[in-house]
Amino acid sequence: MTKAELRKLYTEKRASMSEAEYLHLNHLLCEYFFALIDLSFVRVLHSFVPIEKFREPNTWLIIDRIRREFPHIRLSLPRVQPQTGQLENIFFEGMHQLQANAWGILEPKQGVPTEPEKIDMVLVPLLAFDAHGNRVGYGKGFYDRFLPQCKPSCQRIGLTLFPEPVSIDDTNAFDQPLDKIVTPAGATVF
């Protein structure tokens, strides 16, 4: 299937989930993340903020636990630069720092910028993935432009509520593959 077809299919699958199923899958995803992802080398972790109306994986579960149990890890959240379409990263200080952007997504309104080359791990949103670590996102290319700015050792971790890989017919050289995908069924390493 093409990315557009997969995007439509998986957006519909997420929208059709019951609230109980969504909460359960997010709980499992969080548990597998902490059981299977090595955070010992991480000093700076970038996480996307979930778009709740699209039922994205609830990264707040991960963010809150990192803040409690891994205080040495600095968290960085993205902010979209509307003029350039680039992600700017801001160190996360607390909920007081966030406001909804034009798409209704919470992002830092102010704060200390995070240099991409300082980031050790990036949590990447996705709808579907293939057996090679390629992902289907929303098609805006934010992470495909951002990930090459990070250092080569930066771990690229995709988070999805769907454990099965798919076949993506239209991958291209612009696509940035991931190192691992964490799902409610475990993790896949590429």
Q: What pLDDT does 139 receive?
A: 85
43 known ligand binder:
no
What mean pLDDT comes out for the span 67-88? Answer: 93
For residues 83 and 144, what is the distance between their CA atoms, to the nearest angstrom? 17
CA dihedral sign, ordered 81, 84, 87, 91: negative
Q: What pLDDT does 101 receive?
A: 86
67 known ligand binder:
no
| Domains of the chain and any CATH numbers | 3-189 (3.40.50.10420)
6 known ligand binder:
yes
Residue whose token pair is 């990263």: 89
142 known ligand binder:
yes
Considering the chain, what is the average pLDDT of its residues?
95
For residues 44 and 116, what is the distance between their CA atoms, to the nearest angstrom? 10
Q: What pLDDT does 106 receive?
A: 93
pLDDT at residue 33 above 90? yes
For residues 119 and 64, what is the distance between their CA atoms, to the nearest angstrom? 19
pLDDT at residue 43 above 90? yes
Give pLDDT tens digits for 119-160. Answer: 999 999 999 999 999 999 988 899 999 999 999 999 999 999
137 known ligand binder:
yes
Give the pLDDT band (50/70/90) at residue 85: confident
Q: At what angle do helices 59-69 and 19-36 cross, to 10 degrees?
A: 40
10 known ligand binder:
no
Max Cα distance, the chain (Å):
42
141 known ligand binder:
yes
122 known ligand binder:
no
pLDDT at residue 99 above 80? yes
75 known ligand binder:
no
What mean pLDDT comes out for the span 103-121? Answer: 94
